[in-house]
Chains A and B, each alone.
Chain A
């Protein structure tokens, strides 16, 4: 999925005169224009953006002509390090919002992006990130139609922050919401959990593994489209990003006033993630994912759903991991490997590594 060649990216002239971002790049003058014309437009190029208007003009009536609704979402990206195994902040900025829009069952169409850049940031790094964003947008078949750049004084930012917003179209008869899970439904996860969080953390802590963990960052909109073709009766789809599957499932259990029972042994946790979590004192259920979804589906459709998901490149390791029940309303519990039960609680804030 990630065959982008960062190394071969060359910043086009005349930006080369400034190997680092200066305050003027955000000032709205000539330097800003050069950044837009030589860096953003070539990377993102599409009909709407290329007009370089102050705002994108979009034909919403055309988008909604079949009676759908708009899905609209925004997300900000402040990851450190900016480059990690399996991608960079650009992958997250595009796919994060594409996925948020798609989780409502929508087909994502347009994105906006805002860059807050710290003075002194390498233009070359910015170029790599922006190029990644262009590539990812093309893969997800969305257009980045408007954007903004601000430069803040050195020390006032952490290299680069990106915000993206996205618009998508929810087809007329699709209705997904976190309060629609029903007792008897089945919980499906689209693949191995914990990869993104561990990739970032091992980068931060300087951990090396025999098989390095790569972020799973990916766009899930086509997988969701295929899932909706199996049945429009899917109740909920969520992406278990920050807070991991534990937090996402707790939110569903609370909104739907149902209990969720997971089977520890059925949850796909890669060996590397398991080892890293043991080492770092973390629980994989709470570790972030960037290319996975959780779906609550009616039991009678679950087998067919699983088969369809497993055919998609981002759903190959999909698995049924639990069920929705009437008991323990608002709670998630897991049946443990040795036959006990534990509560999988909502995480309060950041996951804190244990001392012993």
Chain B
């Protein structure tokens, strides 16, 4: 396949690994920001192939993991409302709220549908004028343009029975928050290539400069990830801290300007709570004043939600890289993929779930 098999070539992977080994002389902690990169690392076993000196810290770039509990509970409340068709991307269905998940709501009679695009939800709204159709608009900058488009079209076409529960989060403020944390261990970032394909990477050089940290815009195939790591290590070993684009086939400096225009008109920046981490200033988007009629938080009265996170769950520290998943006392005991206490145990790209699977293997392999 074009642009896929080429970036999984074993020979080239070996060459990159050899180069990484050759330049590495000290211990380095590199964070891959995006869950898609974590997934690729685990799926291809990249972490086991790296020299021992290099530690990969799985970043908070997994929408499943960082969507705040309060919003999950709001989603559950809306989805359980009669006459509502609640549409979501697939892997949000199993994220635990305070005491249920969307699967439970579905089994109790909620009309919950998995869609691949918010525009599918808009179609349901058109086809079911007597129902309220709500789309769960989560994710980073990558999924935002399609969500913005759905709301934009709903307004243009006057589809009043459509609304969106929005919890968009943004990468650059998260990088700043991680660097400012007193317990931070991250020395370089692999920035999320898909996020940059939309937003460009002009926001990153100031971060590199301010925090003296190398940031490499990185793709998702094994060779992309290895190349990102290679460039990060070279900078670290040479005491440099620049932003580099290692995903040039997709990402340009200015990004997708048409999408950015759409985002600007539909969303407004606001402070956002990240599950397990806390509130990060100006780190998210919600629907702007003009689109209030399509904001599910306003349409449905879900403001008085009380949340309670499991006191055992330490996913916040895991997401910031201050502890490893298996250092959490609940790991593998009270908390497993079958009965997750926190979101990082849910998604296949969540750090805890990844460790749970790989850890069992590593333990028996010894």
Residues of A within 8 A of B (CB): 205, 259, 271, 274-275, 278, 280-281, 327-329, 331, 333, 335-343, 345, 348-349, 352-356
Does B337 have its Cβ within 8 Å of any Cβ on chain A?
A: yes
> Does B244 interact with chain A (Cβ within 8 Å)?
no
Stretch in B91-99, B156-164, B302-310, B314-322 with 4+ CB within 8 Å of A:
B91-99
**Cross-chain contact of A337 among B10, B138, B364 (Cβ < 8 A):** B10
- Are the CB atoms of A354 and B349 closer together than 8 Å? yes
| Residues of chain B with a CB closer than 8 A to A274's CB | 1, 4
Cβ-defined contact, B91 with A340, below 8 A: no
Across the interface, do B42 and A356 meet the contact criterion of CB distance under 8 Å? no
Name A's interface SS.
loop
Residue of B nearest to A356 (CB): B36
Given A327-B365, A338-B49, A343-B357: A354 and B90 interface contact (C-beta under 8 Å): yes
Question: Shortest Cβ distance from B326 into chain A, in angstroms?
Answer: 15
Is B35 a contact of A356 with CB atoms below 8 Å? yes
The contact size tier of chain B is: 35 or more
Which chain B residues numbered 71 to 117 have a C-beta less than 8 Å away from chain A? 89-94, 103, 114, 116
* B58 touches A (CB below 8 Å): no
By a beta-carbon cutoff of 8 Å, the part of chain B in contact with chain A is 1, 4, 8, 10, 13-14, 34-36, 39, 42-49, 63-64, 89-94, 103, 114, 116, 138-140, 142-143, 194, 222, 337-338, 347-349, 357-358, 360-361, 364-365
* Of B10, B13, B90, B360, the contact of A343 (CB 8 Å cutoff): B360
Q: How far is it, in angstroms, between the C-alpha of A58 and the C-alpha of B348 when the chains are bound? A: 50
**The one of B46, B337, B358 that contacts A338, using a Cβ cutoff of 8 Å:** B46
Supposing A343-B357, A343-B358, A355-B143 touch, asked if A338 and B91 sit within 8 A by C-beta, the answer is no
- Say yes or no: B357 contacts A355, CB within 8 Å: no
* Contact (Cβ within 8 A) B364 A327: yes
CB distance from B319 to the nearest CB of A (A): 16
Q: Whose C-beta in chain A lies nearest to the C-beta of B34?
A: A356
A80 to chain B, nearest CB (A): 13
Most buried by B among A335, A337, A338, A341: A338
**Given A337-B10, A341-B48, A353:B91 Cβ within 8 A:** yes
Additional 12 contacts, C-beta under 8 A, given A338-B13, A354-B39, A356-B194: A281-B90, A328-B364, A337-B10, A340-B48, A341-B48, A343-B361, A348-B94, A352-B93, A352-B114, A354-B347, A355-B64, A356-B139
